[in-house]
Amino acid sequence: MVTRNSTTREDRAESLLHDGRVALYPGRAFADVIGSKGECYRVDRRGCTCPDYQRRGQDCKHVLAVRQLCRDYRAAQAEARATGRAHLPAHLARALVNATQRQRCQRCGVTTAGTLCRPCLVAAISLEDQL
């Protein structure tokens, strides 16, 4: 018997947006998404660096979330051009702010939510265990 997740990728993408886990960098052709386990994935035109996308080669929740943000961003730009003002949805405003607040891992330099990315944190913990 095959079991399926009770939520769809679209639902999980929506969750990423509302939890403020996406950093959108307008004009730079990529976004960073903090995954459900704390890893930071890069999403660009070629796809996503997450294991799900790498394995299946199809849109993952990270790609879907970024795609929605890009649609919202283009709509806000069009509104601003037409009226001189734009209303930013909360999840878009948060993603733009996140882009200015993301940190770099102290060990390897990748974008992360904390001072160490998950692989470096795991490596540091296992190194401590060996000492």
Residue range 99-124, pLDDT digits in tens: 777 666 767 766 666 666 667 777 77
pLDDT (tens digit, 9 = 90+) per residue, 29-71? 889 999 888 888 999 999 999 999 999 999 999 999 999 999 9
Distance CA 13, CA 8 (A): 9
Per the confidence metrics, is the pTM higher than 0.75?
no
So what's the pLDDT on residue 62?
A: 96
Helix (H) or strand (E) holding 121: helix 118-130
Contact 62, 50 (CB under 8 A): yes
43 secondary structure, DSSP code:
E
